[in-house]
Amino acid sequence: MTATEFEAWSQRHLATVEQALEAWVPADAPAGLGLAMRYGVLDGGKRLRPLLVMAACEALQGSSAAALRAAVAVELIHAYSLVHDDMPCMDNDVLRRGKPTVHVKFGQAQAMLAGDAMQALAFEVLTPAVGDAQGLPPILQAQLTSLLARSAGHAGMAGGQAIDLASIGKALDEAALRDMHRRKTGALLQASVMMGAACGEASAPVSQALARYGAAVGLAFQVVDDILDVTQASATLGKTAGKDSDHNKPTYVSLLGLDAARRHADELREQAHQALRSTELGTATAALAVLANKVVERES
């Protein structure tokens, strides 16, 4: 897949996901709640998770209608986590995706409710009414819900955030740092891949290989995040740079140093590529391969 081909592939899917978010996140939810939800999820973000869903689904020639719902659901979970994470009692951040954060714009109470409603909406999107369920049979609705709930919950993202909170100012070793990031960021990225794969049919070995790919990409994402936090300006990131070291949080850079962190990201990319090759799906995994590269090479 050439850079031009990937660009076209990516633009096509981003447009579809954006239209679906636009259609499914309600402007008319009561008392401005819908406006806060839309502000938190529309018009921003790299949409890496939706692209992983789409690419994994295509690798297995799965149902694109099902994958679109999975993509929207996982992006809603990601976006809600940012809304809550930015609040004063958590990271107290005022800038996200280059805009004021949701609680700055709408107040803390509305931001908390908007995040709560975005999480519920993710599961609404995965379980459409029966007449609306083309391409998404009940067994797939249940599978996608199960994957997403487990990656978002206490054993996944929320658990990782709890470790993050508890680790401020503490020295974590690499195993503890990896465990935190596998939960906090990795679980949802890996779930994106597995949800996309669930929209098609994968043998057990292929499914395991895609899980390894997702785990490697998930961890690489966080290693690169830690690198960018110290090497980039806030304007480039669209969020406040340098906040990890300001908050005295352990990171891959503070633990390994910048050069070793970069080498680690490259190793994880190679693990991701190896996992894809082991599926023997050939060019069907080309978009997944490019996405692994993008995660490691990104500058924001």
Which positions lie near its own copies, rule CB under 8 A? 26, 29-34, 37, 80-81, 84, 87, 89-90, 107-110, 112-113, 115-117, 119-121, 123-124, 126-129, 138-139, 141-143, 145-146, 148-150, 152-156, 158-163, 165-167, 183
DSSP state for residue 241 in the 8-state scheme: T
Alpha helices in the chain (DSSP H): 3-24, 33-41, 48-59, 64-85, 102-106, 108-126, 138-152, 157-167, 174-181, 187-198, 204-231, 234-237, 243-246, 252-256, 258-278, 286-297
Minimal CA–CA distance to 118: which of 41, 65, 45? 41
Rounded CA separation 187/175 (Å): 16
| 160 or 200: CB nearest its own copies | 160
Q: Supply the DSSP string of 132-162, one letter for each residue.
A: G-TT--HHHHHHHHHHHHHHHSTTTHHHHHH
Q: Please report the DSSP string for 100-138 in residue order.
A: E-HHHHH-HHHHHHHHHHHHHHHHHHHS--GGG-TT--H
One-letter identity of residue 129:
A
Least Å distance between CB 263 and its own copies?
28
CA distance 89 to 123: 26
In the complex with its own copies, which residue's Cβ is closer, 9 or 200?
200
Work out how close the CB of 72 gets to its own copies at its nearest, in angstroms, rounded to a whole number: 13
The answer to whether 16 and 72 have CB atoms below 8 angstroms apart is: no
Smallest distance, Å, CB 127 to its own copies? 4
Closer residue to its own copies (CB): 163 or 230: 163
**In whole angstroms, how close is the CB of 259 to its own copies at the nearest point?**
30
Between residues 160 and 281, which has the closer beta carbon with respect to its own copies? 160
- Nearest to its own copies of 26, 98 (CB atom): 26
Residue 128 or 238 with smaller CB distance to its own copies: 128
Rounded to a whole number of angstroms, the minimum distance from the CB of residue 153 to its own copies is 3
Identify which of residues 249 and 262 has a Cβ nearer to its own copies in the complex: 249
Cβ 232 to its own copies shortest distance, Å: 26
CA distance 76 to 289: 24
Smallest distance, its own copies to C-beta of residue 202, A? 15
